[in-house]
Amino acid sequence: MTLHPDSLAVHAGRDDLASLGVHALPLDLSSTNPLPGIELGGMSYEVLATGGHPSEGGSNVYARLWNPTVARFEEALARLEHAEEAVAFSSGMAAVTAVLLALTHESEKRHVVAVRPLYGGTDHLLASGLLGVETTFCSPDGVTDAVRDDTALVVLESPANPTLELVDIRRVTAAAGVVPVLVDNTFATPVLQHPLDLGASLSLHSATKYLGGHGDVVGGVVACDARLAAALRRTRAITGAIMHPLAAYLLHRGLATLPVRMRAQQEGARVVAEWLLSRPEVARVHFPGFSDSDPRGLIGTQQSGPGAMIAIELADGFDAAATLTASVQLFTHAVSLGSVDSLIQHPAALTHRPVAAEAKPSDALVRLSIGLEDPADLIADLDQALTAAAGVRERMGTALG
């Protein structure tokens, strides 16, 4: 039976529940598992440690290698992403690290092309050279020139963090040629975008964000084909970066409401973004639903909706941004995004603090993650906070006079 995505979000990864005699998702917290014997137990260990699936009659052996609760979440996410498989990790950065390790090892190539802007953690990891890779940073139009014979991977994010720039995934994958392309799909989620259908090889999520949706779980997950998934599981087993079963349980439960949450938060963001356009304190509103933020017309072709993130540039720069983030009452001043409650943060000072100067976002830029509150309440909160920010400008002018 072919299911609508909303139905799939509710039912994916639950095919074995009836045979287990349960209705709600089970949670398996076992750190170790009984072995059927030395020979079969050893064979089970070897299969799982090298990236395979549990064999019939075998054992899951050890939680660093395999866990059924994690596997159910992986199956569900893979179906939502139109992927053959998915591999879950302890964090989004653990997922990024595993992809870099697996693909550079597999190809014996050490060069990566990264399309900026990117999430600050990913940018910092690539720029640091910590994993022994050499990275060429470029714009989307520079991918063709940046790819070399020793390029193992092209990395991009769309919408990009924190300015919400949309990257044409089809164009980048065409420019990359035979080089695998990793798309960070965190902001769009599989509700709005399917990178693998657009030519990408891997779709990555910081599952901490919209997939979980409640600000109470940390995790990462990569959707891809079966061959790449096996390489990622092998890397995960060696490095010990598997997702904790409780995190997988919470994320799988969260997937059931992902489409409903995403659409509601997106509509709230649209209302707030349109209101922000009228504020003199705001020099620019970055929102993919506006034509100036989507010059290639990718909303409706690549991505089905603009999402629920907004970035604004304050007319009076850093001081106004600092006052705004300190003055909100309903928004929470905190990093991260995608929760049912609204968050506000200053990327240059926080998530993008370690990024090189040439790639660091403006000090005047503030990022908003719109939750499920009534948009009128969010607007009222921003109204009083922006008024406070304007007051800082007036006081500074008086002091200078």
**Annotated catalytic sites, by residue?**
64, 119, 184, 209
Calpha distance 375→392 (Å, rounded): 26
Calpha distance 201→198 (Å, rounded): 9
SS3 call for 126: helix
CA end-to-end distance (rounded Å), the chain: 73
- Chain centre distance of CA 340: 16
- 305-80-96 Cα angle (round to 5): 90
- Chain centre distance of CA 216: 15
Strand partners, 89: 220, 242
SS3 call for 279: coil
Calpha distance 169→140 (Å, rounded): 9
CA-CA-CA-CA torsion sign (336, 342, 348, 350): negative
Largest CA distance in the chain: 85
CA-CA-CA-CA torsion sign (197, 96, 360, 284): positive
Helices (H) and strands (E) in the chain, counts: 14, 12
What lies within 8 Å, CB to CB, of 347 at 6+ separation is: 120, 161, 162, 311, 361, 365, 366, 367
